[in-house]
Amino acid sequence: MSNLKIEKRRRLLGAACMIATAALWPALGQGAAFDDYFKAIKLDKADQLRALLQRGMDPNTIEPTRGETGLMLALRDNAMQAFAVLLNARGIELETRARNGDTALMIAAFTGNLPAVQELLARDAQVNQVGWTALHYAAAAGHDDIVRLLLEEHAYIDAESPNKTTPLMMAARGGFIMTVKLLLDEGADMTLKNDKGMTALDFAKQHDKKDIAEGLAYRMRKAGKL
């Protein structure tokens, strides 16, 4: 092979290597940015998170473990500075669902984070949806201030989960007597049954919540439902 041909082949190989390297670096950079992004959220590092977003990081990036967004993780870790940055990020999507169907509002409701619930509602986060809802989660954890707020925002009080469990059933199961009273006073239907035929009273009995069971039984007798 002539020296000219050898030199030409060497140049072609060099160009191919440069193209391959150029293609590889963005992928490596994205991987590093991905790790830095979720680390910044976990450690509540607002400045680092803001810098990553300014460099083009998608605020709706999903982590692989639960399929949750950074906004959801910030709520789980109570990283409120990171939450504020993401909530105000351009293009942020509030209705993304995790693998189990959770939304950011549902997580905020379950963790009892009233300021986050208020912020999400102010940005028109959906209160009602098919399946489990933020009201189920707030009731299950006994967060009465959030239950009250969601009802004020027209949350469907007798929302049914996929197995027809209602917020009242969740509150009774958890033993949150004031939440049960709040829901009943606001018009929750204590006669509804889940797909196993259980009412809120049955949930209270099954989980040995005697005070709640007695209160529900009294109301049902008074209403002629027992």
pLDDT digits (tens, 9 = 90+) for 28-82: 345 678 899 999 999 999 999 999 999 999 999 999 999 999 999 999 999 999 9
Computed from CA positions of residues 143, 145, 151, 155, in that sequence, does the dihedral angle turn out positive or negative? negative
Nearest to 67 by CA among 115, 30, 99: 99
Run of H or E including 160? none
The per-residue pLDDT for range 171-182, each reduced to its tens digit, is 999 999 999 999
CA pair distance 174, 182, nearest whole angstrom: 14
CA pair distance 61, 21, nearest whole angstrom: 25
The rounded mean pLDDT for the chain is 89
| Amino acid, single-letter form, for residue 14 | G
Region 191-201 average pLDDT: 98
Confidence of residue 118 (pLDDT cuts 50, 70, 90): very high
Question: What is residue 32's predicted lDDT score, i.e. its pLDDT?
Answer: 72
